[in-house]
């Protein structure tokens, strides 16, 4: 008397867990990992560019304000 849990062929088995392919799961997990890693790297790069741009704008604003203040005291 054999049970379906002892059957090695997933086609003949009624157990849905027999259809699980660990290699395909690992491959899909690897793809998902690489995608999320790339996405995080892109976000970090964008944050660095944004921070550099904000710093540049702040320096320009400060220089403009300083120049305007100096010109205001001339008169």
pLDDT (tens digit, 9 = 90+) per residue, 16-36?
Answer: 666 778 899 999 999 999 999
Sequence-separated (6 or more) residues with CB below 8 Å from residue 18: 7, 10
**Mean pLDDT to the nearest integer, 37-46:** 95
pLDDT (tens digit, 9 = 90+) per residue, 48-73?
Answer: 999 999 999 999 999 999 999 988 87
Sequence-separated (6 or more) residues with CB below 8 Å from residue 7: 13, 18
H-type alpha helices, the chain:
22-74
**pLDDT attached to residue 11:** 57
The pTM score is 0.49
- Using 50, 70 and 90 to split pLDDT, how confident is the model at 74? low
Sequence-separated (6 or more) residues with CB below 8 Å from residue 40: none
HSE of 37 in the Cβ direction (CA atoms, 13 Å)?
Answer: 6
Does residue 3 register a pLDDT over 60? Answer: no
**What is the rounded CA–CA span in Å between residue 75 and residue 11?**
93
């Amino acid at each position: 008397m054999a049970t379906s849990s002892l059957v090695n062929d997933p086609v003949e088995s009624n157990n849905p867990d027999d259809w699980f392919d660990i290699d395909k799961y690992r491959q899909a997990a690897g793809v998902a990992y690489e995608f999320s890693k790339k996405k995080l790297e892109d976000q970090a790069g964008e944050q660095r560019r944004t921070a550099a741009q904000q710093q540049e704008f702040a320096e320009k604003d400060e220089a403009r304000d300083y120049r305007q203040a100096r010109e205001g005291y001339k008169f």
